[in-house]
Amino acid sequence: MASVCFKVLAFILMIAFGYLMKARHILQQEDSQILMKIIINITMPAALISGFRTFSIDVSLFFALAIGFGMNLLLLAAGWIYSVRKDGETRALYLLNTPSYNIGNFVLPFVQGFLPSSAVLCLCMFDAGNNPFGAGITYSAACSVSGGSQRLSIRHILRTLFHSPPFLAYFIMLVLYLPGIRLPDEFFDLCTLFGQGNAFLAMFTLGLIFEWHLTREDLREVAQILGLRYFLCLATAAVVFLITPFDLVIRQTLCLCLIGPVTTLAIPFGLSCGCKQSMIAALSSVSMAASFVLSLISLLLWA
């Protein structure tokens, strides 16, 4: 418990440090654009690659991959339908923040700290189904609506995906690992070194773009987006835990994944789609706080 609380506290301090840098005029909010480019093109791909160091596929855990992919698909469809009458930038917020999960930086510490080591493999399989959405599919869908004239198509999705460095890193590594090709440890050491800065840069940038001034309408929109997300996630987690015949550790791991926060990639992708910066920051910070509370409650109930 102490290690998880420390990690969450560290994230809060990173956000506060970014906000302090802006408040003291050491950095400007516009500087976040440069940091976002570093995250998308360098640190996030490196972090994804380093996660493949211990990656292995177990046929019995393929349902975790299916749940990760299927739940993202459900959330994306829900965000698309619920926001159909809203303006392009608001629709983009729904499509970026209703689906996708921050597994590596948030859920993994809970799994490592409270569950057996075998749970990590289940988490990796869930993340294998989750990553394509956070790395490009939701961004592609958001791009198709934020401009107001571009239609979503398979061709557009594929073009956006394969121009996304995080997705390319994930796709290439998966293609290599499926036939059993393993890269040298030195390569993973290098990627780990670069990827270690990803969490700090993401949280720091969140503080840099954070704004306290939200209109009543913006607050209502944030509540609706996260309300839709967590209603569906909690309902699915309850079904997985109470009805499915999987082992207890697997069910617990999947529940922690399902109530995880929105991926940090929603921040740079939201800025790229022209979404309001204050709402992007609010969605990310409130989502992390909500997932932290829900995860602690779940673990206490299981104890």
User: How far is Cα 49 from Cα 289, in angstroms, rounded to an integer?
Assistant: 27
Q: How far is CA 131 from CA 11, 41, 69, in A?
A: 22, 16, 9
What is the sign, positive or negative, of the torsion defined by CA atoms of 33, 229, 117, 136?
A: negative
CB of 208 closer than 8 Å to CB of 21: yes
User: How far is Cα 251 from Cα 63, in angstroms, rounded to an integer?
Assistant: 11
Per-residue model confidence as pLDDT tens for the chain (303 residues): 666 677 667 777 888 899 899 889 899 877 887 887 888 888 878 877 877 777 666 665 788 989 999 999 999 999 999 999 888 888 999 999 999 998 876 787 778 777 887 777 788 789 878 888 887 788 888 888 876 444 556 676 677 667 778 778 878 887 887 787 888 989 989 988 988 887 788 778 877 877 666 677 778 888 999 999 999 999 999 999 999 888 899 999 999 999 999 987 888 888 888 888 878 878 887 888 888 889 888 888 887
CB of 295 closer than 8 Å to CB of 273: no
CB of 232 closer than 8 Å to CB of 75: yes
